[in-house]
């Protein structure tokens, strides 16, 4: 995976997050983006499935839910409408970008929009909301579905 960083929202390729595996979702996302810390990576507008508009993965959390104690990370999915969902994962999430060459780093305070969803990068993590007002707030310390 490559990450990019230049002023004005354009990016030049650099090597990606240390410790991420080569697991990926077979180039099925039109938008792939991450927080500046690299702890949260999202794949939006999945071209292989009309159901999931957005999937976000958080690798390092302070405390995992009891049902996810043996997994590698936490995966959150959000459709264009309805509530978000949490899934425990036994793999690392490294989405590939179908429409663009590199993963976009979303600067703190900036947002990215997709097909029925908006995510905002914050110093306290990532907040994603669908068009019906449901979503999730993800950070190392707390993960909330709403």
Reduced to 3 states, what is the DSSP secondary structure of residue 68?
helix
The pLDDT of residue 27: 55
Q: Name the token pair of 77.
A: 């999915």
- C-alpha 146/C-alpha 38 separation (Å) is 23
Q: What is the mean pLDDT of residues 25-29?
A: 56
Given a contact cutoff of 8 angstroms between Cβ atoms, the answer to whether 99 and 30 are in contact is yes
- C-alpha 111/C-alpha 61 separation (Å) is 22
The pTM score is 0.75
- C-alpha 71/C-alpha 82 separation (Å) is 25
40-84 per-position pLDDT tens digit: 999 888 766 656 689 999 988 898 888 887 767 899 999 999 999
């Amino acid at each position: 995976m490559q990450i990019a960083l230049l002023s004005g929202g354009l990016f030049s390729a650099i090597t990606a997050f240390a410790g991420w595996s080569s697991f990926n979702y077979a180039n099925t996302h039109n938008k792939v983006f991450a927080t500046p810390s690299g702890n949260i990576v999202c794949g939006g507008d999945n071209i292989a499935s009309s159901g999931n508009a957005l999937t976000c993965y958080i690798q390092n959390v302070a405390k995992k839910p009891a049902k996810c104690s043996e997994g590698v990370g936490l995966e959150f999915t959000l459709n264009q409408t309805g509530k978000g969902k949490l899934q425990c994962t036994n793999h690392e999430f490294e989405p590939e970008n179908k429409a663009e060459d590199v993963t976009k780093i979303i600067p703190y305070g900036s947002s990215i929009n997709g097909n029925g969803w908006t995510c905002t990068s914050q110093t306290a993590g990532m907040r994603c909301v669908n068009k019906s007002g449901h979503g999730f707030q993800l950070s190392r310390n707390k993960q909330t579905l709403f």
